[in-house]
């Protein structure tokens, strides 16, 4: 179908029963539906929004365009979970109704206050000349789940000196005041984060930019988030426009953090180290964090990227969210670990331990397309050693250690249907030791690899055939050793 402007800017309400049926049929024929990741019923999912613990449950919303796998009129779709493992679809929470949000309810965050869930979002509007107007808006969900929107924006437009690329509010509290970060673009077309303050969550005043040392680092910073972690201050965002540098910034857009001293909330000064890319894989963007009731800092990201065609696009759906991860800082490095709640999914357990020399071997009984796997690889005197996953006729996804180049490598060159080829099919990251611990989460069409307790993470979509379920271990030019345990999830 042709995606005219008219077709892209419709609300979910206007979907006919026939259209829905057609989409449902199309999606149900897809071989790549995920088993345990949050994914749209149909249409396109992008950023996680409003991730929060409220009324004894996690609430997680996401950007959703209902009619197909393209970007258009965005809604907030609502999911809920008691345990971060099973998610329940609750339906559309926010849809465009008011003039200042006529072209989409864009990203934002949730904040619990006085027994209600405050949803801060971006009102996206286009005028007759198709110029963008962006405001910060508020909707409040009461304890019964009823959502009421404020009929005027809480921040009407960007301040002077900034362009209309002004979006994605994230709110937190320090003592008796509330703070909001908003992603912005300066008039000189560089990205930054603006900081606002409020006493009541309704009236907001601009404090200024968060003063970082990055004055020219991409043209727009999307989806900012600020939070304290283990006595550090963390500024997270998704800067657009970074150029590849060695093995870094190889995707179209990137997400990362600056770890620093706690933000000086009076004057916006932030003393921080270098930008750390959050993910070394192919498909990760626009993550958002929240606090669990027991004080863990949790992160969920979009397992996808804009402006890339994905194999499911022709099936009327696109993308999913990552599994929830717990953040920590180790020696100044932000680490991500899968949340421990996911252990609930572990079913059939299988173990394997072996040495291989200059060969490829099946890894004992291990196989599958939907599982969790933990293990350790010792490269010994081999030059390269690692795992081949989703192995089938001509297909394999390879995760290995290359001791010659001193890199951990994820290679999806022959993973299945290829896509995003302009951005290459190999991702790698420097690593100087010859032993790694890995923790893998495989779902029908994705892989998330946590290396050495989350010091590096590779998040990627894969589109192999269903039958490609083999798991092998290999060593080249020497002998290597592996110890692994796997749990099938279904
Ligand atoms: C990031 C983003 C946000 C915006 C939303 C629109 O992927 O571009 O900046 O609010 O997606 O869907």
User: Does residue 212 share a domain with residue 67?
Assistant: yes
When pLDDT is cut at 50, 70 and 90, the band that residue 448 belongs to is very high
User: Does residue 382 share a domain with residue 305?
Assistant: no
Cβ–Cβ under 8 Å, residues 449 and 410: yes
To the question of pTM greater than 0.95 for the whole model, the response is yes
User: Does residue 457 share a domain with residue 434?
Assistant: yes
Instruction: Give residue 308 CA to ligand 1 midpoint distance, Å.
Output: 15
How many other CB atoms are found less than 10 A from the CB of residue 331?
6
Decide whether any atom of ligand 1 lies within 6 Å of the 312 Cβ: no
How many other CB atoms are found less than 10 A from the CB of residue 302?
27
Say what the pLDDT of residue 490 is: 77
User: Does residue 141 share a domain with residue 78?
Assistant: yes
User: Does residue 352 share a domain with residue 327?
Assistant: no
Residue 365 belongs to domain with CATH number:
2.60.120.560
Residue in 417, 422, 411 with CA at minimum distance from that of residue 387:
411
Residue 193 belongs to domain with CATH number:
2.115.10.20
Q: Give, using CA atoms, the residue closest to atom 9 of ligand 1.
A: 222
User: Does residue 198 share a domain with residue 132?
Assistant: yes
Q: Radius of gyration (Cα) for the chain, nearest Å?
A: 22
Of 326, 341, 356, which closes a domain?
341
User: Does residue 181 share a domain with residue 44?
Assistant: yes
User: Looking at the predicted structure, is the pLDDT value of residue 1 above 80?
Assistant: no
Element (H, E) at 258: strand 256-260
Percent of the chain at pLDDT > 90 equals 99
Write out the DSSP string of 170-234: EEEEETTEEEEEEEEEETTS-EEEEEEEESSSSSEEEEEE-B-S-SSS-SEEEEEEEEEETTEEE
Of 292, 316, 341, which closes a domain?
341
When pLDDT is cut at 50, 70 and 90, the band that residue 76 belongs to is very high
Decide whether any atom of ligand 1 lies within 6 Å of the 286 Cβ: yes
Q: Can you say how many angstroms the Cα of residue 267 is from the centroid of all Cα atoms in its chain?
A: 30
* Domain housing 133: 5-25+34-341
Decide whether any atom of ligand 1 lies within 6 Å of the 101 Cβ: no
ipTM value, please give it.
0.99
Which residues are catalytic, by number?
Answer: 47
For residue 220, the ligand 1 atom closest to its alpha carbon is 9
Determine the residue of 61, 63, 165, 287 to mutate for testing ligand 1's pocket, defined as the one with the most ligand atoms within 8 A of the Cβ atom: 63
When pLDDT is cut at 50, 70 and 90, the band that residue 414 belongs to is very high
User: Does residue 401 share a domain with residue 320?
Assistant: no
For residue 222, the ligand 1 atom closest to its alpha carbon is 9
For residue 74, the ligand 1 atom closest to its alpha carbon is 12
Decide whether any atom of ligand 1 lies within 6 Å of the 445 Cβ: no
Instruction: Report pLDDT digits (tens) over 373-410.
Output: 999 999 999 999 999 999 999 999 999 999 999 999 99
Helix, strand, coil % over all residues of the chain, rounded to 5 = 5, 55, 40
Say what the pLDDT of residue 354 is: 98
Decide whether any atom of ligand 1 lies within 6 Å of the 395 Cβ: no
Q: What is the mean pLDDT of the chain?
A: 97
Of 311, 341, 371, which closes a domain?
341
Number of folded domains that form the chain = 2
User: Does residue 404 share a domain with residue 322?
Assistant: no
User: Does residue 407 share a domain with residue 280?
Assistant: no
Residue 106 CA to residue 126 CA, distance in Å, equals: 13
User: Does residue 149 share a domain with residue 58?
Assistant: yes
Residue 320 Cα distances to 51, 59, 115, 302, 303, angstroms: 15, 16, 30, 6, 6
Q: Give, using CA atoms, the residue closest to atom 12 of ligand 1.
A: 106
Residue 436 Cα distances to 363, 376, 386, 428, angstroms: 17, 6, 10, 14
User: Does residue 174 share a domain with residue 233?
Assistant: yes
Decide whether any atom of ligand 1 lies within 6 Å of the 223 Cβ: yes
């Amino acid at each position: 179908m042709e995606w005219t402007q008219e077709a892209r800017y419709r609300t979910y309400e206007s979907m006919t029963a026939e259209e829905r049926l057609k989409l449902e049929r199309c999606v149900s024929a897809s071989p790549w539906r995920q088993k345990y990741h949050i994914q749209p019923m149909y249409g396109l999912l992008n950023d996680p929004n409003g991730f929060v613990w409220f009324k004894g449950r996690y609430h997680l919303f996401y950007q959703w365009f209902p009619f197909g796998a393209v970007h258009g009129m965005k809604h907030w779709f609502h999911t809920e979970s008691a345990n971060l493992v099973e998610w329940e679809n609750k339906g559309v929470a926010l849809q465009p109704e008011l003039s200042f949000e006529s072209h989409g309810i864009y990203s934002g965050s949730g904040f619990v206050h006085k027994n209600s869930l405050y949803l801060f979002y971006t009102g996206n509007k286009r005028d007759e000349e198709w110029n963008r107007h962006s405001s910060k808006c508020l909707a409040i969900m009461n304890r019964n789940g009823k959502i009421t929107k404020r009929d005027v924006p809480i921040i009407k437009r960007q301040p002077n000196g900034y362009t209309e690329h002004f979006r994605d509010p994230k709110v937190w509290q320090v003592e008796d005041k509330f703070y909001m970060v908003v992603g912005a673009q300066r008039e000189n077309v560089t990205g930054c984060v603006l900081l606002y303050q409020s006493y009541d969550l309704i009236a907001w005043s601009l404090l200024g930019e968060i003063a970082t040392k990055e004055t020219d680092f991409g043209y727009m910073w999307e989806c900012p988030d600020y939070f304290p972690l283990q006595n550090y201050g963390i500024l997270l965002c998704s800067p657009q426009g970074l150029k590849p540098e060695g093995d870094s910034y190889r995707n179209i857009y990137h997400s990362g953090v600056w770890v620093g001293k706690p933000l000086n909330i009076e004057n916006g000064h932030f003393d921080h180290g270098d930008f750390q890319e959050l993910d070394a894989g192919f498909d990760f963007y626009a993550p958002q964090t929240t606090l669990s009731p027991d004080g863990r800092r949790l992160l969920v990201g979009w397992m996808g990227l804009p402006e890339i065609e994905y194999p499911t696009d022709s099936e009327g759906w696109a993308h999913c969210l990552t599994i929830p991860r717990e953040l920590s800082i180790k020696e100044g490095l932000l680490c991500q670990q899968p949340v421990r709640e996911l252990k609930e999914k572990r079913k059939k357990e299988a173990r394997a331990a072996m040495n291989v020399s200059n060969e490829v071997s099946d890894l004992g009984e291990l196989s599958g397309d939907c599982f969790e796997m933990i293990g350790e690889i010792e490269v010994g005197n081999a030059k390269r050693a690692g795992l081949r996953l989703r192995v089938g006729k001509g297909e394999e996804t390879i995760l290995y250690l290359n001791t010659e180049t001193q890199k951990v490598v994820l290679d999806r060159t022959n993973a299945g249907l290829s896509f995003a080829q302009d951005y290459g099919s190999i991702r790698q990251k420097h690593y100087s030791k010859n032993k790694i611990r890995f923790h893998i989460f495989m779902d029908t069409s994705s892989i998330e690899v946590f290396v050495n307790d989350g010091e590096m993470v590779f998040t990627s979509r894969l589109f192999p055939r269903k039958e490609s379920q083999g798991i092998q271990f290999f060593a080249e030019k020497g002998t290597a050793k592996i110890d692994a345990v796997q749990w099938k999830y279904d």
